[in-house]
Amino acid sequence: MTDRLREALRSTAEGVPTYPVYDRALATARRDRRRRLAAATGAVLLLVVASVTLPLARTPAPGPAAAADAALPDRVGLPPIGTLHVTDRPRLGPASVIFSGSASRLRGWNDASVVGVVGANSDRYRILRTGMGASAGGSVLLSPSGRYLARPADDQDDPGVDVVDLVAGRTRHLRSTVDRTTASTPIGWSSDGASLIVRDEVPVAFDGATYTSVLNAVSLDAERWTRLAAGAQETHFGSTVAAAPGRLAYQYGRTVAVTDLNGREQSSFTLPDEAWLAGKGAWHPDGAALTLATHHPDTSEWTLRQVDPATGQDAGSLRLPAVSGAVAIRLLGWTPDGSALVAASEPDPHAPEPPLEEQSDLPTEDPGISRVRVLALAPGATAPRTVLTAPEQVLAVDVADQVIRSGHVRGAEPPGGVGGRFWRWSCLVTALVVCGVVAYSGRRRITRWLDDRRGRPASAAR
């Protein structure tokens, strides 16, 4: 090779761009590490998401069978820690029972009330958080079909009633149309479940020293508010409401009034001494008679009697057993065999007996109550039969009308352990911790990657 050829080759080689072997190899290694890191993080997140969603996907959606197989559980338990809410997925579907009380798991933040909800045909539990003092069957009501829950709206600046659809998981706010109302409370359902009976409290004087209670029938489809009646709050207007097809009976003071759903009064009568409108199931199934609950102070027993809704006169014996040892009873409805289903409040042996005038309704947060039971009073029986038991400090219960009418009672196994929300939050926290650990362990690689993105060498960053 001549010197001239050698120089030509050297000149040509110098003009050829060089391949950065080291830099390219380093960049390739970093890219592979980033891909492995991203793949590992993605796999962890995928496992976390799958562990939460796959069990939910396997849970069958509530269908028509939920209503057809509705049955009363023979016992309820306290909702597990982390129980899903009524609006969470998977949807609960129609419910059979709701309950409330003073137990620790039935209390939320700031002493708010928690209502337990049990599925129509299985021991699937949900909870409904609502305002202070809310009670099942008192201010939180289960619709006749078990599909809807009605409760007072939480927003005091926008009085009205919230209706929760347990099938769709949606909440509808029914804004009150009553002028100057300060609070709206659901107190009953129509027999077909198409309307709610709502009581509004309206101040009489500017300072709000006295109030008037206004009753309205509110249709769920068009949200029409139809005024039924009004009376002094001191008379506990609408303290008990019972519905029959096209008719309502409600109590105020010592009077029972019967009206239609347009507010036209059909009759009224004065209650006998020691007697009260028995409860939401006070109408006899054929609508021909109303049922009163009578307390006998000498024997501490409660009995049911039927009266003519037009005159209040005795309409014949029911031949039902008496309930003894209860602070109060509330008639929930009638089973196909003619039995009356009542919620009986058991007294706390360590608390003083409440005054008799406070026993007209089922107490919910009264310290004189220890628990509630549901009893079946069968015609001709010598004693009531317990069909539902509850733990201590479960003080109020409501049962869907369709469950009562079915007459079915099933053996229940209330859930234990922890609920679905606990696992959801646990998986979320676990995912965040794993991502944090992965990010911390790869912090130097992340720094190099950021430096590469900024176009400066990693050594300069250090």
- pLDDT at position 222 is 83
Look over the chain and give the mean of its residue pLDDT values, rounded to a whole number.
85
Residue 96's contacts (CB-CB under 8 Å, 6 or more residues apart) are 70, 71, 72, 73, 118, 119, 120, 121, 146, 399, 400, 403
Residue of higher predicted confidence among 402 and 48: 402
Nearest alpha-carbon partner for 230 in 242, 221, 241, 238: 238
Task: Give the range among 239-248, 352-361, 374-383 with minimum mean pLDDT.
Answer: 352-361
pLDDT in tens, 245-254: 999 999 999 9
Amino acid found at 164: V
Please give the domain boundaries of the chain with CATH numbers for all domains: 55-418 (2.120.10.30)
pLDDT in tens, 425-459: 677 777 777 777 767 776 777 777 677 776 655 44
- pLDDT at position 17 is 65
Q: Which residues of 12-39 are buried (b: 16+ CB within 10 A; e: fewer)?
A: eeeeeeeeeeeeeeeeeeeeeeeeebee
Q: Which residues of 403-420 are buried (b: 16+ CB within 10 A; e: fewer)?
A: bbebeebeebebeeeebb
- pLDDT at position 317 is 83
pLDDT in tens, 10-49: 777 666 666 566 666 666 766 776 676 666 666 655 655 5
- pLDDT at position 6 is 76
Q: What is the mean pLDDT of residues 220-243?
A: 93
pLDDT in tens, 171-223: 999 999 999 999 999 999 999 999 999 999 999 876 667 899 999 999 999 88
Residue of higher predicted confidence among 307 and 61: 307
pLDDT over 90 percentage in the chain? 65
CA separation for the pair 350, 280 (Å, rounded): 30
Q: Is the pLDDT at 116 greater than 60, yes or no?
A: yes
pTM summary value: 0.81
